[in-house]
Amino acid sequence: MLAPLALWLGDTGVERALLVGSLMLVLIVELANSAVEATVDRVSLEHHRLAKRAKDLGSAAVMLALVNAALTWLLVLTA
């Protein structure tokens, strides 16, 4: 839903690339996080501190990608 909006709201090619690119980064990081979680679950379903840490770090990466996207949109659209 946001990709067509990004193409419409971006005034220049660079702005469009930044808006769409930030959204793509969120999707890429989310896919990597899902892969980490599936791998950890495949190895063992037992609770282990390293498994929890791996999942937490993947979630933190997704959060940082979302913050990056929000800041990118904010800076591009208010400029």
Clarify whether 15 is annotated catalytic.
no
Distance of CA 39 to the CA centre of its chain: 19
Residue 39's CB: how many other CB atoms inside 10 A?
Answer: 11
Instruction: Tell me the C-alpha distance between 17 and 6, whole Å.
Output: 9
Token pair recorded at residue 72: 């990118």
Rounded to the nearest 10 degrees, the angle between the axes of helix 13-43 and helix 49-78 is 170
What residues are labeled active site? 30
